[in-house]
Amino acid sequence: MQMSDGCSAIKAEALLREWTESASLVKHGLAVARCTESYGFREAARRGMSADEASRLAELYRCAGLLHDFDYQRHPTPEEHPFVGVKFLREQGWPEQMLHAILAHAEYSGVPPETHLDKALFASDELAGFLTACTLVKPSRSIADVEVAGVMKKMKDKAFARAVKREDILRGADLLEIPLQEHISNCLRAMQEHAQELGL
């Protein structure tokens, strides 16, 4: 499976599902992928890419989101995740820039976020989880009813979704050099557009 020219989101999702039994972890991968993908399209527009080039770039971003935690259920310790997964993916011929982003999303890996893809994945990871949590406390349990102002308010509530690292969400927006509200809006819109796929 040689993928040096790009990657397949279909293969990436199949791999995520093969390695992950937890429905919530699969949903997290799907959500992060859609957020990250949306930043791929934004980056393509910034670079003035053609439609085909934009689609390929966005798919690379989506694959990074799908696979950033694919080894987590089997190898949850900081000694193994994401290193085991990255080693497997490298042997399978997945793109090095995607592997770099997966390593960079784990602060303890020693790999800092450098590329736009690195930063988009890091920025999307915790926020996707937080937006899911904001959705599940809505009476409708529908992400269509989540608003940026409500998310901002929930971020200040330390008791809400306390496992989510607020500092990573803030740092993600800083890495992307956009205001926090804009970052939340971008990811919220990406998840709303794929609500059925995400079960939200």
Cα–Cα distances (Å) from 145 to 34, 45, 141, 149, 191, in that order, read 18, 29, 8, 12, 12
pLDDT surpassing 60 at residue 104? yes
Kindly state the average pLDDT of the residues 170-187. Answer: 98
Kindly state the average pLDDT of the residues 102-125. Answer: 96
For Cα atoms 22, 26, 31, give the angle at the middle one, nearest 5 degrees.
145
What does DSSP assign to residue 110?
S
Kindly state the average pLDDT of the residues 74-93. Answer: 96
Establish whether the linkage from the previous residue to 112 is cis, with ω within 30° of 0.
no
Burial of 63 (0-12, 13-18, 19+ CB in 10 A): buried
pLDDT surpassing 80 at residue 198? yes
Kindly state the average pLDDT of the residues 95-99. Answer: 97
pLDDT surpassing 70 at residue 174? yes
Q: Which of 75, 81, 74, 79 is nearest to 125 (CA)?
A: 81
pLDDT of residue 1: 32
Kindly state the average pLDDT of the residues 39-43. Answer: 98
Q: Which of 146, 121, 151 is nearest to 28 (CA)?
A: 121
Q: Which of 51, 64, 70, 80 is nearest to 116 (CA)?
A: 64
Tokens 């690379």 sit on residue: 60
pLDDT surpassing 50 at residue 13? yes
The pTM for the full model equals: 0.95
Distance of CA 9 to the CA centre of its chain: 13
pLDDT surpassing 70 at residue 36? yes
Kindly state the average pLDDT of the residues 173-177. Answer: 98
Q: Which domains does the chain have, with CATH numbers?
A: 9-193 (1.10.3210)
Are 98 and 60 in contact by the 8 Å Cβ rule? The answer is yes
Question: Rounded to 5 degrees, what are φ and ψ at 45?
Answer: -65, -40
Q: Mean pLDDT in the chain? A: 95
